[in-house]
Structure 1
Amino acid sequence: MQWTEDLRSLVLTVDGITLIAGLPANLLALYTFIQKLRQRATPIDVFLLSLTISDLIFLSFLPFRMKEAADMKWTMSYFLCPLSGFFFYSSIYNSTFLLTAISVERYLGVAFPIKYKLKRHPRYAVIASAIFAVVSMAHCSIVYIMQYYRHANESLADPFKKEVCYEEFSNEQLTILLPVRLELFTVLFVTPFIICTFCYIKFIHILSRLPNIKPKKRSRAIGLALATLLVFIICFMPYNVSHVVGFIGGYSPSWRVYALLTSTFNACLDPLIFYFSSSALRGTLKHLIRGTTGRMHRCCCQKFGKCTLLSCTTNEVSTQSSTSI
């Protein structure tokens, strides 16, 4: 891969927007789900918390990519290259598993409400989340294998002296890497995507037939399904399709770097899923908005004595009236 000014600007822009928008949203979700688990834990809360932690790990390693883009080469310690790549890719694929688990949980909750309620327990969600993390990290350990792979041809550049992080591969490396990428496409993308699509189609179909479901709740359910499928299609599909193209052609496509940028947006879109999935997060967000509005209201009253937008004068009069009574 050759860095260009256009590619540098694009990577910095996309990663910067993702970091600025995704970090506060995921921190708010982290606080909410931790509080929720302390009160009354449910499997969906465990999956959402795991997804939030996965996104925060992803965001914490995003500055390494931004630093490489800014310098247009890898200038940091070589040890950080496979480390950042390992957690970066592991977080992406761990998200596919967790999003699928959320869809399965939602589907079982409406398809078999009594049986599932008797058997559901947060402990099972914790075990599943741990398995997802192990499986995704095991597959993405290929990053370390490729970075420290010793060539039979000693004339090739020492990997420790490379100025590009996990982008340039020899034919020997591609012989190992391309089949692994095809497996990533099949096991960590296609299978979860099919399960997720099936569960949400059935989920919406069942909800549409229930007479006592409120329109607002039905709209949130449809929003949850659409947001999840959009994450799969927009964020995960382009990068995973590059695995298939590379395997068929026997090379590593140069446009993979652009496809990977769409995966970066995953950390921004996941909070939409949190919003549709968790009433606790919606409550926290409403409380935060009310608090911010209240502070603006008081600041306006103190500064100007009158604020038509926030009805400062009206509130002050009503307060005085209630006090006199």
Structure 2
Amino acid sequence: MTTEMPYVNESTTWDYDYSEDPPVSPPVQGCSEVGCVTLVLVYVLIFVLGVCGNTTVIWIAGFKMKKTVNTICYLSLAISDLLFCSCLPFNIVNIVHKKWIFGLFMCKFASFVMFVNMYSSIFLLVIISVDRCVSVAFPVWGQNNRTLKRVMIAVFLAWVISIIISVPGLIVRDVIIAPIEQVLICVIRYDLLSNSHTAIVVNRLVFGFVLPIVIISLCYSVIIIKLQTNRMARSSKPFKVMTALIATFFISWLPYHVFTLTEIKFKLQIVQQGLSASVALASLNSCLNPFLYAFMGRDFKDKCWNFLSRIENAFDDEGKSGTSKRTSSSQVYSKHSTNV
């Protein structure tokens, strides 16, 4: 009888390698009352804030504002976050009842949505970063080529790629009867795909974290160099929003990737507990973005009283960059280099 600890924790459900015989009982079924209550409270808070906040963003960006490169990307981010938050009640009920009662489809779908959200979010942030970089480095070219059609194609491709590379995680999800508790549980069975454990973890790390941060870092380097040489008056509001979104994403997801890598070699209880906490932290990212849109404005004292207007203001990438008149060529450069 193996005494190895279970495998990856995703979507608040403990995952196991059921190629071992016999499998061990899921720790979520034996978690302490304090731990379970804390998880439930965290996920309920994320659900309420995420649904309300992202619905507000979708309403403003989708129906109240002119379509721009920024609004399309932020609208897609909000849709991705809302979809994920909408699936949290299934996981909340799973923790409360300590069994899975929603069938095989939702077992697969709830986890699938989490990683589609992860990939689509970071891919959209890459699109925003590249767009800002092009606007600063090549302002005239950017004015002529940054069209809504092209950004919508880029966003569509980001979603398609996110769905495709999330499919392996969908395949290995399964519902089985726990050998000790004799209740249905939603688990991951890496034996359904050969050599899938390491492959899935590395795939998520490379395409969902490392590669995007390299691209974003390069874009930021170009932006910073260009802005240091540009003496024109400029607004840093869009740059602050973008920076906050990217920093929040990486802070939220970094612990998850660290623990999944660690868990491949060290199947210890403390690793599993850290993995559970890291999933909650990653989930928190989906409810924070609307508040970042609202709070990154210039008037800090008024942010709590002007939530809706702050969200709309954060999306505005066509703001005034100065009061003095410039030549036509300077206007083109200023328009695209000041809204970083």
The question of a shared fold, defined as TM-score above 0.5 by the shorter chain, is answered with: yes
Report what 2:123 is aligned to.
97
Q: Distance in 2 between matches of 1:73 and 1:179?
A: 28
Residue 203 of structure 1 pairs with residue 229 of structure 2 = no
Over 3 Å counting, the alpha-carbon distance change for 1:166 and 1:196 in structure 2 is farther
Report what 1:266 is aligned to.
285
Shift of 1:187: 1.6
Residue 72 of structure 1 pairs with residue 91 of structure 2 = no
Report what 1:224 is aligned to.
241
Query: Can you give the 5+ residue segments of structure 2 that lack an aligned partner in the other structure?
Result: 1-25, 311-340
SS at match of 2:99: coil
Over 3 Å counting, the alpha-carbon distance change for 1:197 and 1:248 in structure 2 is farther
Deviates more, 1:248-257 or 1:4-13: 248-257
Over 3 Å counting, the alpha-carbon distance change for 1:47 and 1:278 in structure 2 is farther
Structure 1 runs of 4+ with >4 Å offset:
170-174, 247-253, 275-279, 287-290
Shift of 1:62: 1.1
Residue 2 of structure 1 pairs with residue 27 of structure 2 = yes
Report what 2:19 is aligned to.
none
| Larger relative contact order, structure 1 or 2 (CA cutoff 8 Å, min sep 6) | 2
CA deviation string 1:130-163 (max 9, x = no partner): 211111111211233112599xxxxx979xx863
Residue 238 of structure 1 pairs with residue 264 of structure 2 = no
TM superposition score normalised by structure 1 = 0.73
Residue 166 of structure 1 pairs with residue 187 of structure 2 = yes
Report what 1:313 is aligned to.
none
Query: Can you give the 5+ residue segments of structure 1 that lack an aligned partner in the other structure?
Result: 151-155, 291-325
Shift of 1:195: 1.3
Over 3 Å counting, the alpha-carbon distance change for 1:176 and 1:251 in structure 2 is farther
Shift of 1:236: 1.4
- 8 Å CA contact retained: 2:137, 2:223: yes
- 8 Å CA contact retained: 1:178, 1:246: no
Q: Which amino acid aligns with 1:200?
A: Y
Q: Which amino acid aligns with 1:127?
A: I
Shift of 1:232: 2.9
Residue 14 of structure 1 pairs with residue 35 of structure 2 = no
Q: Aligned to 1:25, which of 38, 53, 73?
A: 53
If each structure's strand is expressed as a fraction of its own residues, which one has the higher value?
Answer: 2
CA deviation string 1:58-96 (max 9, x = no partner): 111111111111112212223211111111221122111
CA RMSD of aligned residues (A): 3.3
Q: Distance in 2 between matches of 1:251 and 1:68?
A: 23
If each structure's helix is expressed as a fraction of its own residues, which one has the higher value?
Answer: 1
The structure whose Rg is larger is 1
Q: Which amino acid aligns with 1:142?
A: P
CA deviation string 1:260-279 (max 9, x = no partner): 11111111222245448999
Q: Distance in 2 between matches of 1:93 and 1:82?
A: 17
Q: Distance in 2 between matches of 1:277 and 1:206?
A: 23
Q: Which amino acid aligns with 1:270?
A: N
- 8 Å CA contact retained: 1:23, 1:56: yes
Q: Distance in 2 between matches of 1:6 and 1:239?
A: 22
Shift of 1:118: 0.4
Q: Which amino acid aligns with 2:240?
A: G
Over 3 Å counting, the alpha-carbon distance change for 1:149 and 1:13 in structure 2 is closer
SS at match of 1:74: coil
Over 3 Å counting, the alpha-carbon distance change for 1:58 and 1:10 in structure 2 is same
Paired-residue identity, %: 24
SS at match of 1:165: strand
Q: Aligned to 2:135, which of 99, 102, 109?
A: 109
SS at match of 1:126: helix
Over 3 Å counting, the alpha-carbon distance change for 1:287 and 1:80 in structure 2 is closer
